[in-house]
Structure 1
């Protein structure tokens, strides 16, 4: 089979059967193209484990890949060759025998309550150009802080996903296509109400909850990162949407919310992913330690 034909078939398989995101599918194909270009072949069965290993080692040395980047690139190639093996285009996956490097166990960066208060304050007083921009940006920052949503989850929220009567948000396009419900905090509720009132004044209607200022479509990740950078610069507290997610999780643990409930609210697949917030929760540790009878 011609390599280009294989890429075309893989793309459809990834998007329609495996439901891999378009972005990830594109990265898989890009990584595989680079491998074949490096080895200078168009023949699937010509690729050996030694070829792939040498290629990954070389790129790690040239590009100074981190262990995570190495793992990601290895996984991209493995996913493509798994597809080829399943369809009998090759007899074995040349990536399977290449080990994944261990990732360093680093703790996520957390924002303190004082830092969050500064971020909220400067979100409120920032000189946004339009009233709608001000109310919208305020609502999205509060949503990150009070729901712990991932950036992509927030971008894909639709009007129908926000139930103000039941005070809950349905996250339908979570990581791994998981669906979950997040209660709307009382503070967030009033902020969202203000945004919805302002939103009704628009001359157009978008199906997405957080809409663009000038066109009836959802916001982009680039726009939200720009908003965070502007507030970071004004407040002196650097943060990203994911930092706000970490802050939400840590606050829950500090307040004694059970780890299983935190897992469900964050949309984690495994409890082991959520446990990191327990290990770094100083407030929770302090509360527990103060009640321990040492003598």
Structure 2
């Protein structure tokens, strides 16, 4: 008996190439493949077949899958973690991904019409659980104190300067994880005070000005890095480009040491967007700096977090200590 996921893997190799040719980032390709495999598994279990064919899927099936994601589906992060329901933001991403998958199936001739074309994403609820995670002021201070610690520099100057440059590239330039991984030496323009981001989602290249902290961090790292065969700015100690796994592991390690929950490269990027919004930067400018194709994606940074809202409301209390 041929296992369904082996067939799915073969089919999705071509899908990955199609996504790449359409300008999708590595992270998006991985995410969209996972959604396609999850949908295939759900659908095959539902109809009792072993081989997935796009022609079997109707618009009604996709509507039921959407309902399943909203009402029943759960995920687990970590071996001992409690299952959690997907946020509306995640479901919206899933719907976007599956629309793309069926567009691909139509383009290669596996289906005549796209059953996903009329599937509408659920409306976004103003739920704090859907807020992107950014660093609160005290967390930001804790992180900066850690990455500026001279003791870390004395222990391993090479790793210290590399990790510090990565943190500042996320915190002060808002690069995505995949953009940091693929960031190249020629993308740094010291003479013009900006970094060129070439590998954004949808191939939206952009220029982000360098502030003083980022310039100093990149300068120090490049001195430690020295001449290398790899054109990537960030490398491992063996000389090869760092991977997404390395980047995640670095952030996880730092998060545990200074007690930052759910800390990762995306948190640095969200902090960049939130900090710009707090300083009164126009939405259009934030969208340009972050590589958003639609300014509506940027509006989330104008919202306050639940903690910020609670602090404001508490300040109105008549019984607070003066």
Deviation, 1:76, is 3.5
* Structure 1 pair 136–101 and aligned structure 2 pair: CA distance change class (3 A): same
Q: TM-score, normalising length from structure 1?
A: 0.79
In the aligned structure 2, how far is the partner of 1:197 from the partner of 1:56? Answer: 51
Contact 2:198 2:205 in 1 (8 A): yes
The worse-fitting range, judged by mean Cα deviation, of 37-46 and 178-187 is 37-46
Distance 1:31 1:189, change over 3 A: same
Aligned to 2:135: 111
> Superposition pairs for residues 209-288 of structure 1, below 5 Å?
209-214=233-238, 216-238=239-261, 239-280=263-304
Paired with 2:16 and 2:278, the residues of 1 have a C-alpha distance of 44
Q: 1:46 to 1:190 in 2, by over 3 A?
A: closer
Structure 1: distance between partners of 2:278 and 2:54: 53
What stretches of structure 1 move > 6 A for 4+ residues in a row? Answer: 3-6
The alpha carbon displacement at 1:182 in A equals 0.9
Q: Which residue of 2 aligns with 1:138?
A: 164
Q: Does the Cα contact within 8 Å between 1:31 and 1:73 map onto a contact in 2?
A: no
Kept in 2, the 8 Å contact 1:15–1:25? The answer is no
- The answer to whether the 8 A contact 1:35-1:52 is kept is no
Q: 1:77 to 1:246 in 2, by over 3 A?
A: closer
Report the alpha carbon displacement of residue 173 of structure 1 after superposing the two structures with TM. Answer: 0.5
How many residue pairs get aligned? The number is 277
Which ranges of structure 2 fall in alignment gaps of 5 or more residues? 1-6, 75-84, 313-322
Q: Sort the Cα spacing of 1:123 and 1:102 in 2 relative to 1 into closer, same or farther, 3 A.
A: same
3-state secondary structure, aligned to 2:208: strand
Instruction: Tell me which moved more, 232-241 or 46-55.
Output: 46-55
Query: Are the aligned partners of 1:212 and 1:219 in contact in 2 as well (CA < 8 Å)?
Result: yes
TM-score, normalised to structure 2, is 0.73
Select the residue among 156, 164, 182 that pairs with 2:208.
Answer: 182
Residue by residue over 1:18-66, the C-alpha shift from the partner in whole angstroms, topping out at 9 and shown as x without a partner, is: 2334424533552454256333155543332334444554566254444
Instruction: Return the alpha-carbon distance in structure 1 between the equivalents of residues 53 and 269 of structure 2.
Output: 45
Give 1:74 deviation, angstroms: 3.7
Q: 2:50 aligned with 1:37, yes or no?
A: no
